[in-house]
Chain A
Amino acid sequence: MLGKMSLRSQKRLLLFSFVTVPLLLLVTFAYYPAMELIRLSFTNWNGISADKAFIGWANYKEVFSNPDIFGVFRNNVAYFVVGIVQNIVAIYFAVVLNSKLKGKKFFRLLLFLPYILNGVAVAYLFGYVFDTTSGSLNYLLGQLGFDKLAETSWLGNTSIVNYSLASIGFWRFMGFNMVIYLAALQSIPNDLYEAASIDGANGWQKFFYITMPNIYKIIELNLFLTVTGALEVFDLPFVLTKGGPGGASETFVMKIIETAFQFNNYGLASAMSVVLLLFVIIVLSIQRYLLNRKGD
């Protein structure tokens, strides 16, 4: 039947039927919510009642002036710091796995493994590792003779809880970063290294003058993922510490969810979401700007 239609009308029908559904979904679940978020952020909507009053910039003032809201970004800093170390370690292991090494494939398989494991299971897995009394980390430290350190409450101490949680992120995502760096390293033509060897360059010189410039773009991509990941942390603290002790590990996204779904303050939660969205866009713009400048 379709074969009898002219190619032109076939094309029209096909374009219409193949494009409409995905476009509709995209608008409904990406663009509409983004727009609606902006609109709601200027209201005091509670999520249920039909009326929502326009209250101007009040929600935004609240976000930036209330230390209980904006202050939680302090807790996100740990994830950023650990994320940077994670990238350095990932580059190191990518270089190692890209060099002459026995069992390369196996090590890549192993280092990437944590990334594909269930996040909730990983969180509890570390709940056990970090447990103060029956935990395996403190047992290990005790065996190694660090008796004082072996009494640490890794998830109960307000000054280290975020670093403990962020180190779980390190465990989970280092291999992911490494695989991306490794793919970038493998795409650097070998002639460059050979030519440099002939010119008498040593290992460090090759790393800084050939390897680094060639994976610059990928480093930026990974850093973007690290920064946005640090801004959007949710599941680890939510599952493992519920934001405790005393709110010390609460993250900004947890605060948004709490504001909307527990306190029914949709207006304020929307303003917080918009702020987060703007931060992500700012980070991305800085990255693009740096990338373009480098390209000139």
Chain B
Amino acid sequence: MGKASRVWSFVKYLSIAIAVFVILFPPYIIVVNAFKTSEEFFAKTAIALPDSFLHIDNFIQAFKKANMPIAFGNTLFIVGVTLLLNILIGSAFCYAVGRFQFKFKGMLVGLFLFATIIPQITTQVVNYKTIQMLGLTNNLMGPVLLYVGADILQIYIFLQFIRNIPYELDESAMLEGASLFRVFRSIIFPLLGPATATIVILKTISIYNDMFVPYLYLPRPEHVVVSTSLMRFFSINSGDWQMISSAILIIMIPTAILYLFLQKYIFAGVTSGAVK
């Protein structure tokens, strides 16, 4: 027994060490090469450390050449407007469905749940035409509308959450003369805070990381988002790995920082989304 558990503990730590290496090796290469000058890059091996981690020329150049100020601005706009609409519409819908009885309510909720099995990637052929008809191709509002309309993660999370808020809170507010809209605004919405935080973080990450929608709907250079700016940058600088490494790093860092500080909400969201 003692021997078996010692072997198991050895295997455990060995496998973790291998996993850590596999996870960190690719980003390590990017980090060390992003700081190399072109002479250094050719003189040294791919895994060698740079002379100095203060050589940030590549970052400055990549940031400018890849149009990143515009890309970050556009991405921020799309994320901001999408979240605002998503939170507002999603929480209001879940208040209506979570608190009241009405005809066809079961059917309505079923309609939303069933929609999750339609893969969004299959409906793009038609959605493209819809967005075109609304005059929103080459317009940042096109992707916003798609992200707001086609994703219902917020409905899952808010619905689960709203059921755990005691109804007595609504009742006592109504006894004091609050209207239903006021109950929603001043009681329910603030209490949904943790759910809102989870949704904000998960959606920010998923929109920031999306390439498909911006590639299809925002082809013009003035509409680049982070993903598409990196694609453009790569196609003109391919082979120039130290420059590309810096661009990759610039784009990876924002979500990595969000993740480090807000991991609690991310893990909560991922696991609650899965157990649905």
Contacts and interface: CB of A to CB of B under 8 A. Distances in A.
Contact of B115 (A31, A92, A108, A122): A31
Contacts of A274: 122
B153 interface: no
A50 interface: no
B180 A10 contact: yes
Given A18-B92, A253-B121, A277-B118, A116 B149 contact: no
Interface in A100-136: 101, 107-114, 116-122, 124-129, 131, 134-136
Contact of B29 (A10, A110, A136): A136
A135 B95 CA distance: 53
A221 to B, nearest CB: 6
B122 A277 contact: yes
Contacts of A112: 267
Contacts of A218: 274
Interface stretch (B49-57, B160-168, B191-199, B207-215): B207-215
Given A113-B256, A119-B211, A140-B47, A128 B119 contact: no
B16 interface: yes
B209 A118 contact: yes
A40 B102 CA distance: 36
Contact of B45 (A32, A33, A107, A139): A139
B90 A121 contact: no
A53 interface: no
Contact of B126 (A40, A101, A122): A40
Contacts of B234: 124, 127
Contacts of A55: none
Contact of A273 (B16, B90, B96, B122): B122
A76 to B, nearest CB: 13
Contacts of A128: 26, 29-30, 33, 241, 244-245
Dominant secondary structure of chain B at its interface with chain A? helix
Interface string A244-258: 000000000100110
Contacts of B47: 136, 139-140
B84 interface: no
A29 B127 contact: yes
B212 to A, nearest CB: 6
Contact of A111 (B23, B96, B111, B228): B23
Nearest to A23: B108
Nearest to A104: B16
Nearest to B229: A120
A30 B179 contact: no
Nearest to A128: B241
A112 B208 CA distance: 17
B226 A29 contact: no
B8 interface: yes
Contacts of B270: 176, 179-180
A93 B23 CA distance: 13
Interface in B108-160: 108, 111-112, 115, 117-119, 121-130, 145-146, 148-150, 152, 155
B209 A29 contact: no
5 contacts: A29-B149, A32-B126, A110-B20, A232-B121, A256-B122
Closest 8 CB pairs of A and B: A33-B126, A29-B149, A33-B123, A25-B149, A2-B179, A18-B96, A183-B271, A18-B92
